[in-house]
Amino acid sequence: MKYLWLYFVAIIASLGGLLSGYDTGIISGALLFINDSWHLTDYLQGILVSSVLIGAVIGAATNGILADIFGRKKIIIATAIIFIIGSIACAFAPNIIILILSRIFVGFAVGIVNFVVPLYLSEVSPKNLRGTLVSLYQCAITSGILFSYLINATFAHAVYNWRWMLFAGVVPGLVLLIGMLFLHDTPRWLVIKGRDNEAKDVLKTIEPDIDVDNEISNIRKTLQENQSNNKFEFEKWMLMPFIVGLGIMFAQICTGINTIIYYAPTIFKFAGFDSNISAIYVTVGIGVVNFLMTFVAIYFTDRLGRKPLLYIGLTGVMLSLLLLGSAFAFSSMFNFDLKLLSVISLLTYIISFAMSLGPIGWVIVSEVFPLKIRGLAMSLCTVANFGFNFFVVASFPVLMYRFGGAITFWMFAIVSLLCLIFVYYFVPETKGISLEQIESNWKNYVKPRDFKN
């Protein structure tokens, strides 16, 4: 019960992930009906789906510094407002150009929320619960994806179906906006701004048993070390956190997750499902599994550790992609049921990803950077995340139409193997280690596999 308010804070802030998840998933069903209305080419489909990622790159690139200036809370509130306005604009778009521009505007909010919410959660969480609470963000993303799939199924038979699908994004935006009005900013940001008394009040509220004076002292000590020279200089020890942060973002995206989330109904139609409606209904099952398996990561992140979950998840992702590619390659030759194999492969993929790379990627990025540049560094990693995402999502329809499912999914399987090797050699285990100690480990050139408490 002593962490009751902390969990409330984490749940409200994590609703930012619901916005991101909703926008990620809603286009998967809407695309089928938009394509029926405007008969888009494969290139234009890729542009429409990936347009949100253009806005996301801009949002992530321009708001890391703003989060350090104005605080995490205000930026999250601004994100909710942008998302509400963008969802309305998408729903009333009169043509494909306006729809693409509106999706870019919504993407601006997605780019902001994907770095500022994990940052917020990591800075309000005790070290023994940090992995669990930051994982709530990924849980919110998967719940948003599931919500979007359910909305797709609900409005599939409606007049103006895709417009209602896109308009429904107003709901999670309002929930986040209202919820954040009741929360405080993070203790670490308050200390950075010299508002120590407010920071103490927040610490007492979210962690009643903590020695607030000692905690403030530790944060202040880290700040003083970083501020010994007012002009920021990139030091040698900072290279490894950036390699880890950018590498884990590459692994999270370039193993193909958003080709599944954005294009699941399209993949199912390639595999032989006859109608838009049946493809959408099967996709709902994918969303349910994605949501439920995230709780596995939440439970084990601070018990089993980050790296064991990444090993298990990446192995499962690689094998499922090999199976999916093989199903496309050999189904006609050996009379396989391509529809059944595609469903099994995608379910295995989602199970593996949702319990590992999905939540753990954001946990690691929220932990590995030094305090002074954490906002900016997470912003850069989020820019990279969406940059990778744009390339993968925009190219997927072209790859599927021009090269086929076998080559496309085997390529993602090879990337998964490379990412598994990267995790083994470069990603540190951060379970149970304070943010200040993680920074100290980097400064003392501790190898990632030798991190200490």
What whole-number distance in Å separates Cα of residue 324 and Cα of residue 334?
Answer: 15
For the chain, percent of residues with pLDDT exceeding 70: 94
- Which pLDDT score is estimated for 395? 86
**CATH number assigned to the domain covering 9-450:** 1.20.1250.20
Query: Cα–Cα distances in Å, from 426 out to 128, 131, 274?
Result: 23, 19, 45
Check: CB of residue 146 under 8 Å from CB of residue 26.
no
| Torsion-angle region of 445 (φ positive above 0: left; ψ -120 to 50: alpha; else: beta) | left
Region 346-364: mean pLDDT is 89
Of 248, 252, 245, nearest to 380 by C-alpha is 245
Q: Are 219 and 372 in contact (CB under 8 A)?
A: no
> Pick from 197, 435, 419, 211: which is nearest to 317 by CA?
419
Tokens 């719940």 locate to 143
High-pLDDT (> 90) share of the chain, %: 24
DSSP state of 404: -
Mean per-residue pLDDT for 168-184? 89
Per-residue pLDDT for 450 more than 90? no
Q: Domain locations in the chain?
A: 9-450
User: What pLDDT shows up at residue 366?
Assistant: 81
**Residue 57: HSE in the Cβ half-sphere, 13 Å Cα cutoff:** 12
Q: At 437, which amino acid appears?
A: Q
The distance from CA 297 to its chain's CA centroid, rounded to whole angstroms, is: 14
332 band by pLDDT with thresholds 50, 70 and 90? low
String of b and e for 375-398 (b: at least 16 CB within 10 Å)? Answer: bbbbbbbbbbbbbbbbebbbebbe
Burial (CB < 10 A; 0-12, 13-18, 19+), residue 236, is: exposed
Q: What is the mean pLDDT of residues 258-268?
A: 79
Rounded mean pLDDT, 317-345: 81
Q: Which of 368, 354, 356, 362 is nearest to 430 (CA)?
A: 368
